[in-house]
Chains A and B, each alone.
Chain A
Amino acid sequence: MPLSSRHLLGLNGVPREDIELILDTAITFREVLDRPIKKVPTLQGKTIVNLFYENSTRTRISFELAQKRLSADTVNFSTSTSSTKKGETFKDTVRNIEAMKLDMIVVRHESAGVPLYLTKISNANIINAGDGLHEHPTQALLDMYSIKERLGKIEGLKVCIVGDVAHSRVALSNIFGLKTMGAQVSVCGPATMMPLGIEKLGVKVYHDINKAIAENDVLNVLRIQLERNAGSTIPSTREYHNYYGITAERIANYNKEIVILHPGPINRGVEITSEVADGPYQVILDQVTNGVAIRMAVLYLLGTMH
């Protein structure tokens, strides 16, 4: 069974069968990553452009590695070294790149909805690598893969997303994906970081981190995004840490197994202490490895679709 859409724009409305297919296919690619030659010829002859209008380390490298490991030809685009600086419009840029004959576009942009817009002006398969405050579907997929890898399932688990939910596309994609897969999703953070009406998505809201730790199986700890004006929602990062930081002491109070995820980059000592970020409960570096496998699975499933 192929995926039901030829693009991956978000996880909102994506059927459970599609998410399961991506997670299952990723297991195959996870195995490829452990081989001495981490490359398969599957996407030979496909051309993929990585259109990054926003800074990224993990996601861009992860996508690029995934493409190379599938033997696709890849081209990288970043705004700082492109004609965008000369004033070329987004649409013109895309039309020109597409005139060079390509099959897939991986896009990251500071405006929500850009991937959807791309599907209307391009014939390529579009993959959203993060659009504004909207969605970041491959991050949520790799989070789910890592949870499943550690705990063996997703259905029925209690997962709490901690931090600046209002400014997080990772949070939104996680909420959609996890709920589709049958998890109980909650969010935790100060009221200023909770978007109005978040309960309408069917998630529980905590304002007490201790309660969130006590009642959940998984914590997905978000980064405090200072570049997205987090300074106006919290008095200081130190105060945030005092109230919401994930510390070894807080976890030790409950004497239970808990899985800690973090999408990176980590602000050590703000949303999470080094002791926890490097400790036994975290799967943060597994997330990064699994990210390549998930992106290979998505590229494979979209790229070999007829």
Chain B
Amino acid sequence: MEIKATIIDAEGLKRTITRLSHEIIESNKGTENLVLIGMRTRGEYLCNRITAKINEIDNSNIIPGVLDVTLYRDDFRTRLKQPEVSVTNITFDINEKNLVLVDDVLYTGRTVRAALDALMDMGRPSSIRLCVLVDRGHRELPIKADFIGKNIPTSIDEEVKVKLKEEDGEDAVYLVNVPSIK
């Protein structure tokens, strides 16, 4: 794995999170009825940070939720490795809420598809919007993000690696080369 470029550094990430938080509050016209749910693993940490920022800006008291979409994946039959499931933890009612789904990288859109199915099984939010740190293109489904940290056009041989302190010990987003499997 060879790092080609640093897309966002620690300071940049902080600013991006602040901007995304403001954008979410602006589009929601405040924090009324707003709930945020992060997708495991790194989406969870991003969601925690964005929620904390929103609470700080708007003096609100939103509790973030965590969603695990393993059970809704469409690649059980084709993957070589058995995916490990972990727990979904949403302590609030999502019915009639303006829900913001948070993930680190938007790529094929298949994880978001799985998340939408999972959320529909838990209730009927008024709206679901998508917030991602990086949109790297190459969608395989008609899905687009509403709040985007950074748009990064990539090639298939490249990968976007998001590193977060909670999981990886540092805050950064890298563009790396991955030799394609042919």
Write the residues of chain A forming the contact surface with B, with a CB cutoff of 8 angstroms: 1-2, 25, 27-28, 31-32, 35-37, 39-42, 45, 300-301, 304-306
Given A28-B68, A28-B88, A40-B71, decide whether A306 and B122 contact each other with a Cβ distance below 8 A: no
Q: Report whether B85 and A300 are in contact in the complex, using a CB–CB cutoff of 8 Å.
A: yes
Q: Report whether A40 and B82 are in contact in the complex, using a CB–CB cutoff of 8 Å.
A: no
**Which listed residue (B83, B117, B122) contacts A35, Cβ 8 A?**
B122
**Which listed residue (B68, B82, B87, B123) contacts A2, Cβ 8 A?**
B82
Encode contact with A along B62-80: 1 for CB under 8 Å, 0 otherwise.
Answer: 0000001011100011011
Is B86 close to A, CB under 8 A?
Answer: yes
Q: Report whether A40 and B72 are in contact in the complex, using a CB–CB cutoff of 8 Å.
A: yes
B74 closest partner in A (C-beta): A41
**Which listed residue (B79, B87, B117) contacts A41, Cβ 8 A?**
B117
Chain B residues with Cβ under 8 A from A300's Cβ?
A: 71, 85
Is B121 close to A, CB under 8 A?
Answer: yes
Given A35-B122, A41-B72, A306-B80, decide whether A28 and B85 contact each other with a Cβ distance below 8 A: yes
Interface pairs (16), CB distance under 8 Å: A2-B82, A28-B68, A28-B86, A31-B87, A32-B71, A35-B122, A36-B122, A36-B123, A37-B121, A37-B122, A41-B71, A41-B72, A42-B76, A300-B85, A305-B82, A306-B82
Central interface residue in B79, B82, B118, by most chain A CB within 10 Å? B82
Q: Report whether B121 and A39 are in contact in the complex, using a CB–CB cutoff of 8 Å.
A: yes
Chain A residues with Cβ under 8 A from B88's Cβ?
A: 28, 31
**Which listed residue (A27, A35, A42, A45) contacts B87, Cβ 8 A?**
A27
Q: How far is the CB of B17 from chain A (nearest CB, A)?
A: 28
Complex Cα gap A45–B78 (Å): 14
Extra 5 A-B pairs, beta carbons < 8 Å, given A31-B89, A37-B120, A300-B85: A28-B88, A40-B71, A40-B118, A42-B72, A306-B79
Q: How far is the CB of B4 from chain A (nearest CB, A)?
A: 32
Q: How far is the CB of A55 from chain B (nearest CB, A)?
A: 32
Chain B residues with Cβ under 8 A from A1's Cβ?
A: 84
Complex Cα gap A37–B117 (Å): 11
Complex Cα gap A31–B86 (Å): 10
Chain B residues with Cβ under 8 A from A36's Cβ?
A: 121-123
Complex Cα gap A245–B65 (Å): 46
A3 closest partner in B (C-beta): B82
Q: Report whether A42 and B71 are in contact in the complex, using a CB–CB cutoff of 8 Å.
A: yes
Chain A residues with Cβ under 8 A from B83's Cβ?
A: 304
Chain A residues with Cβ under 8 A from B79's Cβ?
A: 306
A27 closest partner in B (C-beta): B87
Q: How far is the CB of A12 from chain B (nearest CB, A)?
A: 24
A41 closest partner in B (C-beta): B72
Chain A residues with Cβ under 8 A from B84's Cβ?
A: 1
Central interface residue in B70, B89, B121, by most chain A CB within 10 Å? B121
Complex Cα gap A300–B76 (Å): 11
Complex Cα gap A305–B83 (Å): 10
Complex Cα gap A301–B80 (Å): 14
Central interface residue in B68, B70, B85, by most chain A CB within 10 Å? B85
Complex Cα gap A306–B82 (Å): 8
A42 closest partner in B (C-beta): B71
Chain B residues with Cβ under 8 A from A42's Cβ?
A: 71-72, 76
Q: Report whether A301 and B87 are in contact in the complex, using a CB–CB cutoff of 8 Å.
A: no
Complex Cα gap A301–B83 (Å): 10
Chain B residues with Cβ under 8 A from A305's Cβ?
A: 82
Complex Cα gap A304–B85 (Å): 12
**Which listed residue (A25, A35, A45, A304) contacts B121, Cβ 8 A?**
A35
Complex Cα gap A2–B117 (Å): 25
Q: Report whether A304 and B87 are in contact in the complex, using a CB–CB cutoff of 8 Å.
A: no
Q: How far is the CB of B48 from chain A (nearest CB, A)?
A: 19
Q: Report whether A28 and B72 are in contact in the complex, using a CB–CB cutoff of 8 Å.
A: no
Central interface residue in B77, B87, B117, B120, by most chain A CB within 10 Å? B87
Complex Cα gap A166–B79 (Å): 45
Complex Cα gap A1–B85 (Å): 11
**Which listed residue (A2, A25, A39, A45) contacts B85, Cβ 8 A?**
A25
* 8 A Cβ contacts from B93-143 to A: 117-118, 120-123
